[in-house]
A = this chain, B = another copy of it.
Amino acid sequence: MTASNDQNAALRIASGRKPFVEPLRLGERLKEIRLAQHWTLDDVSQRTGLARSTLSKIENDQISPTFSAVQKLITGLGIDLPQLLAPPKPQSATSGRRDLTRAGDGQRHPTPTYEHELLSWQLAQKRMIPFKTIVRARQFEEFTEWVRHDGEEFLIVLDGDIMLYTEFYEPLTLHHGDSIYFDSEMGHALVSVSEEDAVVLSVCTRGDSP
């Protein structure tokens, strides 16, 4: 054993998503898709190349399909895996969440270089993280290392002017209204270059899916 269970636990937590595998009613789901299109087992058989009997058994959870069989299914039915694995959409019907943040009411996270204000922090399971940032840094040297995190980031200047330093490009000056989109695992750092501290709005993606 070269790695401890603690490490595994850490990995699970780091992943940020429940690593649970639901009963995965794959058969049920397949049948649902099939019936939605008014297809017979023969139809699906022709499309996928899998035997009618095989399909029947999969639908009734009598066998656990091979991965290559699953591939035939998703190509043949023209769906993608998430669709096939998606539980019979429990949420979709009722997804009407919202999270209002009045100006200045965000959650503040001060650091020496930045003063972040998280904007929709009340909503837990979301795919974007929006925040407003007052850029306190005045010199690139104030950063001991690159800011870097998974995913992508969109940034727009609300007030003042900033210099955007990135790992792979020349520094870039951004003025009020300018915006930029970049892969945020590329090191990056902001400094204010205007009289006042600059203010930027950023939105980051959460690190999951490809």
Could you tell me which A residues sit within 8 Å of B by CB distance? Answer: 1-3, 7-9, 11-12, 15, 17, 19-21, 24, 26, 37-40, 42-43, 46-47, 64-71, 74-75, 77-83, 85-87, 91-92, 95-104, 119-120, 123, 126-128, 130, 151-152, 154, 156, 158, 166-169, 172, 175-183, 185-186, 201, 203, 205, 208-210
Report yes or no: B210 in contact with A82, Cβ–Cβ below 8 A. yes
A103 and B186 in contact (CB under 8 A), knowing A1-B46, A67-B67, A81-B85?
no
A11 and B203 alpha carbons, distance in the complex (Å): 30
- Contact in complex: B47, A8 (CB < 8 Å): yes
Specify the chain B residue showing the minimal Cβ separation from A66: B64
Measured CA separation A123–B181 after assembly (Å): 8
**Complex: how many Å from CA A95 to CA B182?**
9
11 CB < 8 A contacts A-B = A8-B47, A67-B70, A81-B85, A95-B185, A96-B166, A96-B167, A96-B168, A103-B179, A119-B156, A126-B181, A130-B203
Q: Across the interface, do B2 and A40 meet the contact criterion of CB distance under 8 Å?
A: yes
Q: Which residues of B contact A64 (CB under 8 A)?
A: 66-69
Residues on B with beta carbons closer than 8 Å to the beta carbon of A37: 3, 7-8, 11
**Contact at B152–A130, with CB atoms within 8 Å?**
no
Q: Which residue of B lies closest to A17 (CB)?
A: B80
Q: Which residue of B lies closest to A79 (CB)?
A: B15
Q: A2-B43, A151-B127 are in contact. Are A180 and B92 (CB under 8 A)?
A: no
CB neighbours of A158 from chain B (8 A)? 158
Given A37-B7, A67-B70; A100-B43 close (CB under 8 Å): no
